[in-house]
Chain A
Amino acid sequence: MYRYDEFDEKFVRERVAQFREQVQRRLDGSLTEAEFKPLRLMNGLYLQLHAYMLRVAIPYGVLSADQMRALADIADRYDRGYGHFTTRQNIQFNWPKLVDTPELLDALADVQMHAIQTSGNCIRNVTSDPLAGVAADEVEDPRPTAELLRQWSSLHPEFSYLPRKFKIAVSGSPNDRTAVFFHDVGLRIVRSQSGEVGYQVIVGGGQGRTPVIGAVLRDFLPKGELLGYLEALMRVYNLHGRRDNKYKARIKILVRALGVEAFRSEVDAAYAAAPGPSFELEREELARIAAYFEAPRLPDRENVVGLSCVVRAKDPRFLRWLGRNCSTHKVDGYSAVTVTLKRVGGEPGDASSSAMRTLAALADEYSQSELRVTHEQNIVLPHVASRRLYSLWQELEGAGLGDGNRGLITDIIACPGQDYCALATARAIPVAQGIAASFAAPQDQEDIGPLSIKISGCINACGHHHVGHIGILGLEKGGQEFYQVTLGGDATETPAIGERAGPGFSSSEIVGAVERLVARYREQREGNETFLETYRRVGLKSFRESLYAADT
């Protein structure tokens, strides 16, 4: 994985020193709260419902075991023994005191981490594929590009006071695991007909109040031109994006207002007018970074044994886990293992410090000391010898992390909701817990198969409900929580925004509503159809009937 050189190290240290001094000036009154706000946000510090919240970047989701242990220590010292992994490959700590934050940032810098640009109206933490460098379907590892963008966007003088936040995702595979169509800019690494590797540029996707599927801005952008082209694109957005209404300030609104064609012309004109960073420099830097991401040397002996000795294990819980949570690896005889942080009765994405330490130890023992964080709020151990899967699973099971439910109905994404968030209009976590409890039986989950439920506690859609196969949006009316259901959303390379099913449900009705949707799927499915496939075939009407059956 990437390691800071002396420049990166110095940069992060200087940033901490600068923030320490900014906090001091806030405390002595020479900075007003209004002036301080964008400065603290650019360092990941939010003022939440009960206290400050610090969001730490996990660039493109890659963590070392040592970094995971440092996060566990931070959870114990500054939070209440927990960290919350988010849908954008970050981790949040909920209770730090303002005066403690510089010290917390020092602790992060000790393990080459930071909170730079995890919030605020700037270019946010760049996200990528949790199976980068591992997935067999990869055109090219997206991590070097993501790291290049992390550096280029860090304290960019021109793009630190944008109309609104700006999120970039990079995917290296045709099968999209990064939601590239739902980012301000999505980059897909593609091969041209002549065999050259470059980028397809997608712009103006997003969720929030106005869900939009991104549009292709450039079919093929050669390597070396990425930073220059992005600077032109950002310049058009910075100059022309709306600033009068924060709900209309994202780039998706500008692209929609201008039309993709006109937006493209603006970007092309800006690109032609501005000398961006040199092609050569970009290529040299990409090559330098890529050297850090060379595949770890996995011992050859492991290959021979393969899966044969693990399938002798007859434990059905293990076999389910093997089927659901283990992905094939580029290298024969290895697997990438997903650990779902979705225990029935737990909070989606939450990890205790002891769970973090367990995962770190298991990464040391089984996965070349490396971990990944996914946008589904799970953890991946990317390089596990397949013959050791049973032994790994037993250790996970012992720590309460052995559920084989990846991608199943209980692998629910939910935002913190009204339990923690100042913006939320309804609770999200209890709904997730209610659904998970209702479908707790593993055989039931297996029978239902792949089904993504995503829950947001307000229209800002942090729980990504628009792209859930079943999306649930918590709202409030007359002091009562109620939940709207959307169906058929899809965050992958076949993107779709869920359709509103009809009137909402109360907090006591919502779990029953999901049960009726699942029952309708089971009646209607043909062969091995998944929920989404059945939905796409039979349409909204049939599912709507089942949802509101009680009324008719």
Chain B
Amino acid sequence: MQLIRDGRFVCDRWIRIGAETASEGGDSNPAAGCEPADDGRPTLVRGSEIGFDLDPDTPMDRMRHLAKHAALLVVRFPSPTDGRGFSVARTLRDSGFGGELRASGPLIADQYDFLLRSGFDSVEIPRALAKRQPEKFWRDGMNGLGDTYQPRDAEHRAILRRRHATTLGSTERTHAGGESLP
């Protein structure tokens, strides 16, 4: 797999536990290295830090539990059009996960901006795809879209916040109105 961070192809310092999945041979099946962490054992290590692979099917409570102990969470995308991972990332960020969030699968550079805006820091793609979609595509994709309409995007890009910056300041609501909840 090729790791991409800040629009650059970089080396992965994390080591996948289980030698047979750590090799580049995993490329024939981009998801081969990413088994759901059912038994609670970490699937990645870096020094004293641990990381987990997450399948988008993993129950959200389980993901939140793993997030408490992890410095890295790798969210598997079975295909570029299976968009569950975007919501997984958003949910993990909303529940306070501050470690590295990585998207893994046959994703394309045109999705990079969406991935970053959903809360991911890094992306790993199969080597064969990385040949067809070289680093330059990802660098361009990082800023492929300029301003955006979603208020939660970075201040300098979020159209709605910039329009009303003078009346509202930059304060964001921290919690949705919960009065109707059970």
Residues of A within 8 A of B (CB): 5, 7-8, 10-11, 14-15, 18, 21-22, 25, 30-31, 35, 38-39, 121, 151-152, 154-162, 218, 222, 225, 227-229, 232, 235, 238-239, 243, 265, 268-281, 284-285, 288
Q: Are A265 and B173 in touch, CB under 8 angstroms?
A: no
Quick check: which of B2-10, B36-44, B66-74, B161-169 contacts chain A, the rest being far away?
B161-169
- Enumerate chain A residues within 8 angstroms of B174, measured Cβ to Cβ: 275
- Total cross-chain contacts (CB, 8 A): 155
8 Å CB contact of B144 from A18, A31, A228, A272? A18
Complex CA distance for A235 and B176, rounded to whole angstroms: 15
Q: Is chain A's interface secondary structure helix, strand, loop, or mixed overall? A: helix
A276: chain B residues at CB < 8 Å are 173, 176
Let me know if B35 is at the binding interface, CB within 8 A: no
B150 A157 Cβ-Cβ under 8 A: yes
Given A121-B83, A275-B94, output 17 extra A-B contacts at Cβ < 8 Å.
Answer: A7-B159, A30-B133, A151-B160, A155-B114, A155-B145, A156-B150, A161-B86, A225-B176, A227-B151, A269-B181, A271-B178, A273-B91, A275-B172, A277-B150, A277-B160, A278-B173, A284-B168
Chain B: CB-nearest residue to A279: B173
Which are the 5 A-B pairs with shortest beta-carbon distances? A161-B83, A157-B117, A278-B173, A277-B151, A157-B114
Give the residues from 71 to 122 in chain B that come closer than 8 angstroms, CB to CB, to chain A: 80-84, 86-88, 90-91, 94-95, 108, 110-111, 113-118
**Complex CA distance for A235 and B171, rounded to whole angstroms:** 24
A278/B168 in contact, CB under 8 A? yes
Bound-state CA distance A288–B56 (Å) is 39
Contact A272 B181 (CB under 8 A): yes
Asked whether B87 lies within 8 Å of A239 as measured between CB atoms, the reply is yes
A157 contact from B91, B118, B133, B146, Cβ within 8 A: B118
| Nearest opposing residue in chain A for B80, CB measure | A35
Inter-chain contacts of A156 with B (CB < 8 A): 149-150
Interfacial chain B residues near A270, Cβ < 8 Å: 91
Q: Is there contact, CB below 8 Å, between B181 and A11?
A: no
A243→B57 CA distance, assembly (Å):
12
Q: CB-CB < 8 A to B115: which residues of A?
A: 157
Q: Across the two chains, which residue of chain B brings its CB closest to A239?
A: B87
CA distance A396 to B116 in the complex (A): 53
Q: By the criterion CB–CB under 8 Å, are B151 and A278 in contact?
A: yes
Q: Which of A151, A160, A222, A228 contacts B114 (CB 8 A)?
A: A160
